Structure 1
Amino acid sequence: MSVILSACRHTKQKAIARALKKKAEKKVLEKRMRQRKEAELQELEASVLDSFSKLWSFEIEGEYYQIVLYLAHDKDTVDIFCNEDEVIGVITNCTDEGGATFDFVIGNSYKARISCCRLPGRGLDYNLTIDGYRVPAVE
């Protein structure tokens, strides 16, 4: 009878050991998954920080427009979109003070200009004017 009891005790101990090992493996797997997700999130945040965009939304004569200025720092490029279509024929003028202007046409014949100027202590400021009238940016 003592042989049967000790055999049952060994089987029970082995079952507990297997369960603990399985639980530890699961925790290790969860930790690896969490680390992988954190790494992917940091990579995404880094790519978002490598770009900058500014948005203006307005209406002219009953037609709505949405202008997006997109600066990709990794490529050193500037893209301008009007109502989700890339604006072609942008004339760029750069100044010695670190500013720039981007001239283009939207709609039928509205002259648009995005001007960029450096403000002391605040970095770069971007303004959109349509036919000389300033358009407030969307916050």
Structure 2
Amino acid sequence: MSVILTSCRYSRQKAIERALKKKAELKRAKRQAKMDALIDSMGGQPQVNSATLVWTFFMDDVPTMVVFRRDLNTITVNGNFVDALNQFDETGATFDFEINGHKGRIKSFAVVRTGLSFVLTIDGQEVPMTSEPEFAI
């Protein structure tokens, strides 16, 4: 009797795992479609070089792309220029701006081996610079 109960419990658990996996795959595909639509609406992926930094992430279930041009000190969010408050000091530079009511900050600081490093934070939460937009705020 206990073998039958264990077997039923195991098959039920597997069915739940399959359903959750399928739901996660559908959600991932939907998010990727949103990000692809954003990139298409902006005329393609921005050119990334040593003077351009790009962060792609989801904020409030909306795909968001922040592009920072180091040579011009300009910030664009989803292709639109945003006003930023620039502060320079001995430790680096800070660029404060706003995205749909959220506080954004790009902070630069010196790293001994690699030179300048840049970090984007939204409402104090660090956004990793990745090629795949898996980060959500």
**TM-score band, normalised by the shorter chain?**
0.5 to 0.7
Of 75, 78, 87, which residue of structure 1 is paired with 2:82? Answer: 87
Q: Please say if 1:106 is aligned against 2:96.
A: no
- Let me know the Cα RMSD of the aligned residues: 1.7
Structure 1 runs of 4+ aligned residues shifted over 6 Å read none
Identity %: 32
Letter in 2 for 1:84: G
User: Does residue 115 of structure 1 match 2:115?
Assistant: no
- Rg larger in 1 or in 2? 1
Residues 24-72 of structure 1 deviation map (CA, whole Å, 9 limit, x = unaligned): xxxxxxxxxxxxxxxxxxxxxxxx97x6000001111211110000122
Cα distance in 2 for residues equivalent to 1:61 and 1:111: 13
Q: Distance in 2 between matches of 1:86 and 1:138?
A: 22
User: How many residues are matched?
Assistant: 84
Partner of 2:14: none
Q: Which has the higher contact order (CA 8 A, sep 6+)?
A: 2
More helix by share: 1
Deviation at 1:122, TM superposition (A): 1.0
What is the aligned partner in structure 1 of residue 130 from structure 2?
Answer: 138
In structure 2, how many angstroms separate the alpha carbons of the residues matched to 1:71 and 1:132?
21
Deviation at 1:78, TM superposition (A): 0.8
List alignment gaps of at least 5 residues for structure 1.
1-47
